[in-house]
Structure 1
Amino acid sequence: MEKAKISGSQLFVLIVLFEMGSAILLGLGAEVKQDAWIAILFGLAGGIIVFFIYYRLYMYYPDLPLTSYLQKILGKWFGRFIGLLYIVYFIYIASRVLRDFGELLTTTIYNSTPLFVVNSLMILVIIYGIHKGFEVLARVGEIYFGVVYLTAILGMLLITFSGLIHLSNLTPILEHGLKPVIKTFLTTTLTFPFGEMVVFTMLLPFLNDKKKAKIVCLGGMILAGINITITAVINISVLGAGLFQRSTFPLLTTVGRIQIADFIERLDVLFMLYLIIGGFFKISIYYYAAVAGAADIFQFKNQRKLGFPIGMIVLFSSITIASNIAEFLKEGLVVVPVYLSWPFQIIIPSILLIIAFFLNRKKQTSSA
């Protein structure tokens, strides 16, 4: 592992930017239309419970990343095999997020630019940032955190003054009962974005004050969850439940409607910056976790040697992952939650925690 140390505030900023990332961009919980914000709050509550699994594992092994304590809990070879699966998972999700933002740019601003070119430019910047080290990424996060929040506040004010918000679009609440909301919570909002905190099992050892881990992580998750919920409420209020559900990038559609005094309008390009910042940090954290994990499992003394090859895998995966955006979105909604997110975010960590509990209790009994 890289000899990096970050403060509690830097970790907090990274968690907020990571969690908001592509969750702000996409219409999270759109399956339940005007009840999307309820599904998001359910996801936040469930995500906090799942986080305590990661936190408990971290308390057992505070100086080790996930790929290292997998080997201690499951044995050297089986632990390495599961660790390798996690690396593939991190690379795959990094590829998906890169594709999300590549599609955003090619369908809005750069209509004539190939997806490969846009994704290449973004991944090269990320490779360079990670090459400089995790501490540098954390410090950059602190700078951009202010930019993100100023942009968000400005956007909220402009949407309000444009008279676009119609709270009646949020009714009727629970029109079809609680069952569709719970289904969306279990298949979507629990695992995306809140269950994705599993990636921080690779990064928590960098925290310089171990006692702050719980409060910092929970604070970051709660703030990001509130921000995502407010964004969903605004999108539904402005667009209506039908358009919110049909829109590929609802926040961009909402911002595109801002018009004040026939002068302030077409601000979607400005808010693209806000979305790209979130995407940059989400891809970077997944990508860094994959690089650090691969270096740990394959015993590389200098993990920077793995940066470029893994970056190229992320790039080419993002292009070949689906032939078009419809297929890409369907894969993300149907295949990923059931076959990837639940096993890697909930089932495997739960099994690890049970085994770690008995292993550590056995050690305490033998030492006593």
Structure 2
Amino acid sequence: MVNRWGEKMIEKGKISSSQFAILVTMFTIGSAAMLIPTLLTLEIKQDAWIGAVFGVIFGLLFVSLYSSLGKKNGEYTLVESCEKLLGKWIGKPLSFLYIFYFLSLTAALLRQLGDFMTTQIMPNTPLQAIILLATAVMIYGTRLGLESLARTAQLIFPWLILFFILIIIATMPNIDWQKIQPVYEHGTLSIMRAGYIFLGIPFLDFVIFLMIFPYVNDQSAAKKAFLTGTVVGGLIIVIITALSILIFGHYLTSVNFFAPYVLAKKITIGNFPARIEAVFGGIWFIGTIIKITVCFYASVLGFAQCLHFRDYRFLIMPFAIIAVVLSILMFPNIVFFYYVALNIWTSYSLVFGVFLPFLLLIISIFRKRV
């Protein structure tokens, strides 16, 4: 398979627009479902769900930016576009920065997954063991390629939606509408600040899908699929955030690092606990693994394209080792992880998710006109 310049494409697989939408949805809820309720309630308490709505609206604007850039450079991934638009001397260093960004996101997700498993489900298991297990699955998924990853997501997605609906129905008797009042207490600026946090996790990370955009079969439907996946994933996060507040109140939501998992424990059959939170944890584990694999796949594919290798698979093991080391060194504990998520990650992501894509889009439009 070659692009319009006659260059061989390293990734030969193709995915449908519906598979692309599912990948976007699962990417959205993969880590944010556990992270966002806590972060937003820390910031604006019972108004967190409104902040989540603002975040989704902001996110749709940036999805439009990424879709426009992807459409302008249809057959090129983000890394290839950097070099084509900015030249070898500027584009290649910029590509390496993006590759590090994708790899650091992989490491952050591995750490979050490890912290979740060791604090909620398997407290006596070493963190490193969980991270290595997740890494092994990530390696296997990356070796299989994009098509297999998309099909796996397509297989899991209906179960994820079914379980989400079950949580809504089963927890409705525990809802207390007083806990969400007073509404809009913290004002527009504070709520927009919370929306800004939600923007960084996960919407600015969506720039990673520019590594997948060229491999969508129907390019004309790719933008709609991108927007659909964002809306569905964003709506799920908004509902999870609102449910957490309505059942636990803002204080308990803010001090629970994994509030949705605790929410699943509230499901009962009659007067007896259903004990299906482990099933919820397993589904979330698989969903997050898919997100991790997308990030890792983008980093190894980008590196291979940047150096014009014929294949990316021989890079998987060395990059996996780097990701594991980063996941342990970058985040010494779960408290620091949440501090980075709340105060640093969005600002860090602005460079890669806003400024550079906007620059590439402007240059792309200018070059087309010339």
> TM-score under structure 1 normalisation?
0.95
What's the offset of the Cα at 1:238? Answer: 0.6
Return 5+ residue gaps in structure 1 as ranges.
Answer: 363-368
Are 2:34 and 1:22 equivalent residues in the alignment? no
5 Å-filtered alignment, 1:1-368, equals 1-26=10-35, 27=37, 28-30=39-41, 31-160=43-172, 163-186=173-196, 188-338=197-347, 340-362=348-370
Distance, in Å, in 2 between the alignment partners of 1:128 and 1:277 is 13
Distance, in Å, in 1 between the alignment partners of 2:230 and 2:56 is 7
Q: Residue by residue, what CA displacement relative to the aligned partner does 1:143-177 show, whole Å, maximum 9, x if unpaired?
A: 000111121122222212xx211122111111121
What's the offset of the Cα at 1:260? Answer: 3.4
What's the offset of the Cα at 1:205? Answer: 0.5
Q: Residue by residue, what CA displacement relative to the aligned partner does 1:341-365 show, whole Å, maximum 9, x if unpaired?
A: 1111011111111122211111xxx
| Other structure's SS at 1:2 match | coil
Distance, in Å, in 2 between the alignment partners of 1:276 and 1:128 is 16
> Does the 8 A contact of 1:115 with 1:319 survive in 2?
no
Q: Residue by residue, what CA displacement relative to the aligned partner does 1:234-269 show, whole Å, maximum 9, x if unpaired?
A: 111010011111111110121223333233333321
> Does the 8 A contact of 1:202 with 1:293 survive in 2?
yes
> Does the 8 A contact of 2:139 with 2:317 survive in 1?
yes
Q: What amino acid maps onto 1:118 in structure 2?
A: I
Q: Residue by residue, what CA displacement relative to the aligned partner does 1:106-143 show, whole Å, maximum 9, x if unpaired?
A: 00121111110001001101101110111001111110
Q: What RMSD, in angstroms, separates the aligned Cα atoms of the two structures?
A: 1.2
Return 5+ residue gaps in structure 2 as ranges.
Answer: 1-9
What's the offset of the Cα at 1:85? Answer: 0.3
Q: Residue by residue, what CA displacement relative to the aligned partner does 1:68-122 show, whole Å, maximum 9, x if unpaired?
A: 0101111112101001000000000111111111100000121111110001001
Distance, in Å, in 2 between the alignment partners of 1:213 and 1:258 is 37
Percent identical residues: 34
> Does the 8 A contact of 1:255 with 1:267 survive in 2?
yes
Q: Residue by residue, what CA displacement relative to the aligned partner does 1:49-80 show, whole Å, maximum 9, x if unpaired?
A: 11222112112210000000101111112101
| Other structure's SS at 2:200 match | coil
Distance, in Å, in 2 between the alignment partners of 1:22 and 1:291 is 21
Deviates more, 1:310-319 or 1:16-25: 310-319
Q: Residue by residue, what CA displacement relative to the aligned partner does 1:322-347 show, whole Å, maximum 9, x if unpaired?
A: 22111121122212221x21111011
Deviates more, 1:107-116 or 1:258-267: 258-267
Distance, in Å, in 2 between the alignment partners of 1:206 and 1:171 is 46
Distance, in Å, in 2 between the alignment partners of 1:8 and 1:59 is 14
> Does the 8 A contact of 2:47 with 2:186 survive in 1?
no
Distance, in Å, in 2 between the alignment partners of 1:193 and 1:41 is 14
2:7 aligns with none
Distance, in Å, in 2 between the alignment partners of 1:360 and 1:249 is 47
Distance, in Å, in 2 between the alignment partners of 1:175 and 1:81 is 46
> TM-score under structure 2 normalisation?
0.94
How many residues align? The count is 358
